[in-house]
């Protein structure tokens, strides 16, 4: 009997690590689409006859539905089952990718991108919750979060390289068709390997009005952030739409506080570790995320690199992050604790962005650019796993999906705010230098350098908040009752324990 119990426990442990690979594969498919499309935009514009202004909707349509539906999707996972919502999102993402790839017109492509963003929200919002519940022990969770971190950052770099290769070698249609095999494998393996949580919606009415209010507020806010570079920070449309977003949010909070079955229980906002960790993550992402987009523009417009060359340039970040994700980050957390590892880890992006801000037009890739990207990868790889550990430390299992959604929202909103702010700052700096008689390339370079410096400052603010406000997770016991974010054991596991 004892041997049988050990065998069942070993099989269960193997299953959850394979399940981790499955959800990370789904995340890879989603993250690819945040960067792979950027490289193909010129080809898409030429083929489908987009105007310059309408072309932005190929990106914006995806970001609006993705960012605005994350909270709702996370809560739906709590209510109806995270596995069910994840698989629904993956299947819908594959279907939307097919529609994108065969789109006969610009309008059809934009509509498909809206659908693709909504599907991405369904799948992505519950992934962190699935990982947190499957890996309740801090050491295992740190390893799992390291792999998840690598998929996010490595997938973004891979998207730049893959987008250039597919567009140049075949056609832009294949940047969407590449999702098909990834999605199909993810769905098939996910059905058999991911454990389902018992939804808490049985017999309860669903808070549809609250869902509409928070989604509408998110759409208004994200669209405002996307359009800030065009409208300006104090433009009438910016202020009006931001005001609408705030009004909808206030109405949502007031409504949620009065009903018995809220889509977002306000108690989640009282979880100090979750809220503070999301704030730290916001400042970190504001600085680090700018590297992908503004760094890509810098390489293209200042150094004249091709899409494939840009993708290869980012490999230093991906490789260094892979080294950290291969177990080193987990060992650092185990030895020094999550908080110390986090604070030192964020110093990597700070130093990397400071170094990148000093790179000149003709600076060789080695050693300066390579070192800056290596620091970014090592630092981000070291900081993100303990940040995830701290964020989910005091989250009850029944709210894990919603908490996972708030983490994804903090990433999307801070990325949108950072890109809007840093992009505007870089443009204003460039225009000012051009007006003063500076050369075009030098003015562009100076604008990007200023943005990277401010990004480093934002990440440094994250260090201060982490050092002063975050508390380290308490050691968890191996019992179910001692782990607030652990689901009740499944029947087979319970039988094994009884045996």
For 430-487, what is each residue's pLDDT tens digit?
Answer: 999 999 999 999 999 999 999 999 999 999 999 999 999 998 776 544 333 333 444 4
Mean pLDDT, rounded, for 154-169:
77
Higher pLDDT, 167 or 498: 167
3-state helix, strand, coil in the chain (%, to 5): 80, 0, 20
Residue with tokens 């740190």: 142
Mean pLDDT, rounded, for 89-101:
97
Q: Phi and psi of 60, rounded to 5°? A: -65, -40
Terminal CA-to-CA distance of the chain, rounded, Å?
6
For residue range 168-227, list pLDDT tens digits in order.
Answer: 788 889 999 999 999 999 999 999 889 877 666 655 677 888 888 988 998 898 888 888
Max Cα separation, the chain? 83
Q: CATH class for domain 2-196+263-481?
A: mainly alpha
Say how far apart CA 332 and CA 387 lie, in whole Å: 13
Residue 104, pLDDT > 50, answer: yes
Q: Which tokens in the block code for residue 250?
A: 């206030």
Residue 307, pLDDT > 50, answer: yes
Higher pLDDT, 261 or 27: 27
Residue 143: partners with Cβ closer than 8 Å, 6 or more residues away: 135, 327, 330, 385
Residue 49: partners with Cβ closer than 8 Å, 6 or more residues away: 106
Residue 492, pLDDT > 50, answer: no
How many CA within 13 A on the CB side of residue 417?
18
Q: Which of 391, 327, 334 has the alpha carbon at shortest distance from 131?
A: 391
pTM score, two decimals? 0.80
Higher pLDDT, 343 or 50: 343
Measured in whole angstroms, how far is the alpha carbon of residue 183 from the centre of its chain?
18
Say how far apart CA 234 and CA 242 lie, in whole Å: 10
Residue 497, pLDDT > 80, answer: no
Residue 493, pLDDT > 60, answer: no
Residue 237, pLDDT > 70, answer: yes
pLDDT of residue 481: 38
* Range with the poorest average pLDDT among 14-18, 126-130, 149-153, 408-412: 149-153
* Total H helices, total E strands in the chain: 21, 0
- Give the range with max mean pLDDT: 101-105, 146-150, 226-230: 101-105
Say how far apart CA 201 and CA 261 lie, in whole Å: 9
Ranges of each domain in the chain: 2-196+263-481, 208-262
Please give the C-alpha separations between residue 107 and each of 33, 113, 284, in angstroms, as whole numbers: 19, 10, 36
pLDDT of residue 202: 53
Per-residue pLDDT band at 55 (split at 50, 70, 90): confident
Q: Are 282 and 413 in contact (CB under 8 A)?
A: yes
Residue 414: partners with Cβ closer than 8 Å, 6 or more residues away: 281, 282, 283, 285, 286, 289
For residue range 363-420, list pLDDT tens digits in order.
Answer: 999 999 999 999 998 998 899 889 988 998 888 888 888 888 888 888 888 887 887 7
């Amino acid at each position: 009997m004892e041997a049988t119990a050990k065998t069942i426990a070993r099989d269960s442990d193997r299953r959850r690590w394979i399940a981790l690979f499955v959800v990370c594969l789904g995340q890879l498919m989603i993250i690819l689409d945040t960067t792979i499309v950027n490289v193909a935009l010129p080809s898409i514009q030429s083929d489908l006859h987009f105007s310059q202004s309408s072309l932005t909707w190929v990106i914006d349509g995806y970001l609006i539905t993705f960012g605005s539906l994350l909270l709702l999707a996370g809560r739906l996972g709590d209510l109806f089952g995270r596995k069910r919502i994840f698989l629904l999102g993956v299947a819908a993402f594959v279907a939307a990718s097919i529609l994108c790839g065969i789109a006969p017109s610009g309008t059809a492509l934009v509509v498909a991108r809206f659908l693709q963003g909504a599907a991405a929200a369904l799948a992505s919002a519950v992934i962190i919750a699935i990982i947190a519940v499957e890996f309740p022990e801090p050491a295992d969770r740190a390893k799992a979060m390291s792999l998840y971190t690598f998929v996010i950052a490595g997938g973004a770099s891979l998207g730049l390289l893959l987008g250039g290769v597919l567009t140049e070698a075949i056609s832009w249609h294949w940047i969407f068709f590449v999702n098909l095999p990834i999605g199909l494998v993810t769905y098939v393996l996910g059905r058999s390997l991911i454990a389902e949580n018992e939804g808490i919606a049985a017999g309860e009415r669903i808070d549809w009005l609250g869902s509409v209010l928070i989604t509408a507020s998110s759409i208004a806010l994200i669209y405002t952030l996307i359009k800030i570079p065009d409208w300006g920070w104090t433009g009438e449309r910016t202020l009006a739409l931001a005001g609408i977003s705030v009004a909808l949010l206030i109405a949502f909070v007031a409504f949620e506080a009065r009903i018995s079955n809220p889509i977002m229980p306000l108690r989640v906002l009282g979880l100090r570790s979750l809220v503070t960790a999301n704030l730290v993550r916001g400042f970190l992402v504001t600085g680090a995320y700018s590297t992908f987009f503004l760094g890509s523009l810098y390489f293209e417009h200042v150094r004249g690199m091709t899409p494939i060359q840009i993708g290869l340039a980012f490999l230093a970040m991906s490789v260094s992050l892979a080294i950290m994700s291969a177990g080193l980050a987990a060992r650092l957390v185990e030895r020094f604790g999550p908080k110390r590892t986090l604070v030192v880890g964020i110093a990597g992006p700070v130093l990397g962005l400071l170094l990148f801000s000093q790179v000149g037009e003709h600076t060789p890739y080695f050693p300066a650019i390579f070192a800056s990207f290596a620091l970014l990868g090592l630092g981000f790889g070291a900081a993100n796993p303990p940040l995830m550990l701290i964020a989910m430390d005091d989250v009850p299992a029944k709210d894990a999906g919603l908490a996972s959604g708030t983490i994804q929202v903090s990433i999307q909103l801070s990325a949108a705010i950072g890109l809007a702010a840093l992009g505007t700052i870089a443009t204003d700096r460039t225009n000012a230098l051009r007006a003063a008689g500076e050369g075009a390339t030098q003015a562009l370079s100076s604008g990007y350098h200023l943005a990277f410096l401010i990004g480093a400052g934002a990440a440094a603010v994250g260090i201060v908040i982490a050092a002063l406000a975050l508390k380290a997770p308490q050691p968890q016991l191996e019992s179910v009752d001692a782990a607030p974010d652990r689901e009740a054991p499944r029947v087979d596991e319970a039988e094994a324990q009884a045996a």
